[in-house]
Amino acid sequence: MRNVRPPAVADMFYPGQPAALAGAVDRLLAAVPAVDAPQPKALIVPHAGYIYSGSTAARAYALLQPWRSRIRRVVLLGPTHRVAVKGLALPQAEAFATPLGEIPLDTEAITRLAVMPQIIASDRAHALEHSLEVHLPFLQRLLDDFTLVPLAVGHASPETVAEVLDCLWDGTETLIVVSSDLSHFLPYAMAQEVDEETCRHILAFDTHIQPDQACGAFPVNGLLLTAARRGLVPTLIHRCNSGDTAGDKQRVVGYAAFAFREASHA
């Protein structure tokens, strides 16, 4: 029997019924103003429930629409919230499922990564992790046929993450997505200040982002390192927090989306 990682946060972070989920994603994407922009090589996208960060995520993912048939592989990195990991964890599953269907994993790419010392195999690290799962319905609605390389990132240096990204960098058929929210549970005004400063550091390729600034700090830092080396140009697409969308302004979570493009296409 095929080993498929089933959805863990359907009906919690996003609608659990296929039609409702497709409709929710499509409405979020339809609300994004049309932008004529070159293809991004990498994105940083938040991973909260859709009522909180879905509108920010949609602004990043809408950029993929013109390239839906070109992008054939997505390398998706997100932080671990439930299982401690040293390094980066690949699942042993052959596919990831959402209510919209199954996404096959890229077995050739996973074989390439498996020999790297910072890579471990752990279905447990992925089983209940939402930081990767919430992105999949957006990718399923926007892209044609694609494979997935899902990496749950624990404590890892920028260099070790960058090595993994460099291994799979390839051409325009490969998209890199790093999943990260920003500050957590600060008052609204303080969160705005902290998140604005964090965004400045990201745009400056500062690889010393800390987990209290961005919960996906470890994969973010790795992306920033290799993106700087490769001359990519970052753009802040959108920034807000849960107090702007659907939450209490006394304790908010920050969200931002970034695109990274080749300098010749920026």
Is residue 265 pLDDT above 80, yes or no?
Answer: no
pLDDT band for 264, please (50, 70, 90 cuts).
Answer: confident
Q: Tokens 């957590």 label which residue?
A: 184
**For residue range 54-109, what is the model confidence (pLDDT) as tens digits?**
999 999 999 999 999 999 999 999 999 988 899 999 999 999 999 999 999 999 99
**For residue range 212-235, what is the model confidence (pLDDT) as tens digits?**
999 999 999 999 999 999 999 999
Closest among 186, 246, 248, 184 to 211, alpha carbons compared: 184
- Residue 239 main-chain phi, psi, to 5 deg: -140, 135
Closest among 14, 58, 47, 13 to 215, alpha carbons compared: 47
pLDDT cut 90: percent of the chain above it: 94
**How many CB atoms lie under 10 A from the CB of residue 233?**
16
Mean pLDDT of 165-187: 97
User: Which residues, including other chains, have CB under 8 Å from residue 27's CB and lie 6 or more apart?
Assistant: none
**For residue range 18-44, what is the model confidence (pLDDT) as tens digits?**
999 999 999 999 999 988 899 999 999
Domain extent listing, the chain: 40-265
> What's the predicted TM-score (pTM) here?
0.97
CATH topology for 40-265 is: Protocatechuate 4,5-dioxygenase; Chain B (3.40.830)
The per-residue pLDDT for 247 is 77
The per-residue pLDDT for 117 is 97
Using an 8 Å Cβ cutoff, are 21 and 242 in contact? no
pLDDT cut 70: percent of the chain above it: 99
Residues in the chain: 266
Mean pLDDT of 113-120: 96
The per-residue pLDDT for 82 is 87
Mean pLDDT of 43-52: 98
The per-residue pLDDT for 36 is 87
| Alpha helices (H) along the chain | 18-30, 50-61, 107-114, 123-127, 130-133, 136-142, 158-168, 188-203, 217-229, 242-245
Mean pLDDT of 132-142: 98
Interior angle at CA 254, CA 24 and CA 40, nearest 5? 65
Give the DSSP letter of residue 14. B
CA distance 132 to 90: 12
Is residue 266 pLDDT above 60, yes or no?
Answer: no
